[in-house]
């Protein structure tokens, strides 16, 4: 039977080089995420229609915060 080597797992969130700037970004992410969840929870208490609108809006906001933290918009090094 042929033996294969398992794939190398991606190095995600092992270290954050960047010092205080990276820490500030993470703290902003936590703050904005918490504020989004709290405002959404408050809107849910207003009724059915505000609840549906606020949950769908919060979903998009939280995904944007996540994508920002993953560094999708950071410049890539040039290819050779």
Mean local confidence (pLDDT), 53-57: 96
Total residues found in the chain within this entry: 80
Is 44 in contact with 54 (CB distance < 8 Å)?
A: yes
Given the structure tokens 């849910």, which residue do they identify?
44
More confident position, 4 or 46: 46
Q: How many structural domains are present in the chain?
A: 1
Range of the domain at 49: 25-70
DSSP 18: T
Mean local confidence (pLDDT), 36-61: 96
pLDDT of 10 > 80? The answer is no
Q: Is residue 60 a part of any domain in this protein?
A: yes
CA distance 36 to 7: 37
pLDDT of 19 > 90? The answer is no
Q: What is the largest distance, in Å, between two alpha-carbon atoms of the chain?
A: 63
Q: Is residue 5 a part of any domain in this protein?
A: no
pTM of the model: 0.69
Q: Is residue 58 a part of any domain in this protein?
A: yes
């Amino acid at each position: 039977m042929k033996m294969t080597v398992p794939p190398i797992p991606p190095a995600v969130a092992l270290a954050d080089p960047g010092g205080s700037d990276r820490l500030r970004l993470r703290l902003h992410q936590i703050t904005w995420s918490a504020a989004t969840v709290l405002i959404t929870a408050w809107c849910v208490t207003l009724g059915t229609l505000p609840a549906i609108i606020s949950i769908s809006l919060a979903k998009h906001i939280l995904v944007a915060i996540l994508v920002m933290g993953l560094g999708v918009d950071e410049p890539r090094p040039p290819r050779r």
